Amino acid sequence: MRAVALLLTITTMLGCFPHNAQHRTYAKWAEGGAIVAGIAMEAVINSGADCDQMALPGQTTGGCHTKAAVLGDLGLALMLGGLLGFIATISTAEEDKTPPPVDIKAEQPADKPKVSLPPGVKAPADSAPEPSGSAAPVHAAP
């Protein structure tokens, strides 16, 4: 149990780099490696059922069962320690700074082109704008 406690302590300590992104990346890799190592260990080790199957008649399999239980617990501790360390690393990271708000304003053209009537065309005396949507006659030049 001391080994499990030591592993959990070390894995959690790796997650305490809130101000250094490079160390957080190393911690994430180490914790991912612990998870993969735990899964690989669980896949490779013999279980208690394997011990019973390999037992010869008249022999006890107590040592094999103990070894399988300890290695199984260690594989589980590696997986849980890596997962808890990964969560600690992610949760202690600094929040991203929010960018300053961007004010979007309509751009006014710097130089407006001067609009004028062609030569020989006079502006109508009544130049009030007509309401939109009306079918008012269009003034023609005389």
pLDDT tens, residue order, the chain (142 aa): 566 566 556 655 555 666 788 888 888 898 899 999 999 988 888 777 777 777 677 776 667 778 888 888 889 999 998 898 888 888 887 777 787 888 887 776 667 777 788 888 888 776 555 555 555 555 555 5
Torsion over CA: 101, 102, 105, 111 (sign): positive
Full-model pTM: 0.53
As a whole number of angstroms, the distance between CA 81 and CA 4 comes to 8
Identity at 133, one-letter amino acid code: G
